[in-house]
Structure 1
Amino acid sequence: MLVPGSLQVIDMEALRSEEWWRRFEAEQQVRERTAFPFLVPAMAFLFSVLVVYGLSRIYLELAHWKVGDVDMATPLALGISALILLGGWFVASRPQLKAWQLGAMAAVVLVGILAGAIWAAVHEEGGAQEAAAEQPPAATAPAGGGGQAGGAPATSLEVRAVRSLRFNAQQLVVAANQPVTITFINEDTGQVHDIAIWRSRQDAQSGGQPLASTEFCTAPCQETLTVTLAPGSYYFNCTVHPQQMTGTLVAR
């Protein structure tokens, strides 16, 4: 500390001997030992969650966009890999990289992923609404006179795979103790789907064999299965997308 009007300097050790200064240093050390080690992993975890979730939404939506036989998710994945390699080289070649530079890089990545995820979510919602608007009310069971929950049990019905990785109907009603024909129509262009009937969700998750299933097919395509079910509640899904494409089937 400089003394005004002279060249004298007061040693900071004199200040450090004061009680208030010692308390200040002790509090600062406590903050550094507790807050900083907790905040860094927490921020890294949140950043990773946002990156993984954002990229997953983008990849799922871009799978519907194709150039020839290649969906756009593939070149995007290659581009992101190249950017990661370039970013790693940039950081490794600059040992004295400043904190604001790292923060700017992370902010650019985060903003880009969030923008892409928002676009994918909005586009997916729009696609789902369009598919619902295009679906005729009686398309679930054109031949059997039923099929939907609350309707008469059907002996033949249609189930469609539509955009956004979903079935056009999640609840079906079929006739029990007689052959039921299910026509599976894959309208999710470029995507591989099937339909499988299970005794329960637990059976589907256990990795066993379904009661009946169609072959895999790439849209646009159509497959048919015939099954006879005892009265009860059953579970159906697409084995290619078992988490997104599911439903309940009741035989009565």
Structure 2
Amino acid sequence: MNMEYVQTVLVQIPAAKLDAALKPDGLLGELETHRSIASTRSGFRGMRVTRSANPEGDALVVVETRWASNNELADYSTQEPNVASIAAAHRDEVVPNSLQVHRMQAPGAGGASSADAARVYDRLALALFVPIGVLAFALLVIYGLSRIYLALPSSAATPLAAGIALGVLGIAAYFATHPTVPRWQIVGVFVVVLGTLAIGGTAAAVYDEGHHTVKQPEAAASPPAGATPGGAPSGNAIQITAKNIKFDKTTLTAAAGDVTIQFNNADNAIPHNFAVYKSDSGPTDEIKHTDIAAGPVVQTLQLTLEKGTYFFDCQVHPAQMSGKLIVE
């Protein structure tokens, strides 16, 4: 059966105020004007204004608006102007405390209407567009959060995650305690979330672009006479690469004095650094380290070392990435 959702507004007008209410700027005049405004609202099916014919006593005015769905009636009820707000604005023309608002469900007119066809179309469209929309929303959330988390220092990641969790719980609690939520509020939540993620993700991407510059490899020069092609860099320089969360070498050798270590983080979007220690006892014996940065990125560490055995690691992944530096 085709059902309609009806809002019925009742109000009494004193006989002495009836002429004023019938004027174009009076209550009844504005209700007639409102009919054309209401007809532009989604789901509107009709409006009827009736009043009692008693010329001597108070006139009872009954205004019915009919809607295709309960949500569309809820949207109309929460957005002004509506019949109830118009009646409240003309309180000087009505009997005090006579305004009543009722909502009910009733059988609609027989036969299929354009509103019914629109509802069928909406249901078919939802079956296609809702999954696509949910997937697109999830991808945007994942991308935006990933860019933001990569740009944040590790100390800020936990507070951000806690804030997001509290926000999700707050929104869920609001919707759970409001069974009928106007459509504009739902759309507003999605717009705010997507806008925040878009701004945060864009800012994080710009930050990464400016701070994690990838150095392009220089063209290999022809080795001088007597040099071995493919050997270690000339002078007291060392190269080491991080790939798949491990170093490509676990033992490095250098001559005493000024030492240059070129650290290449080849792990895409994974943060690493290179730290050197006097012993294997940990951070208390640290000599120097590079900044923690997500790859791909190339960094250089300048040291002055005496003969002896030193130790190195990645301070982000010390258990998987460590080794010895022997200075002769």
The TM-score bracket by the shorter chain reads 0.3 to 0.5
Name the structure with the higher strand share.
Answer: 2
Give the TM-score of the pair, scaled to structure 1: 0.48
Larger radius of gyration: 2
Q: TM-score, normalised by structure 2?
A: 0.38
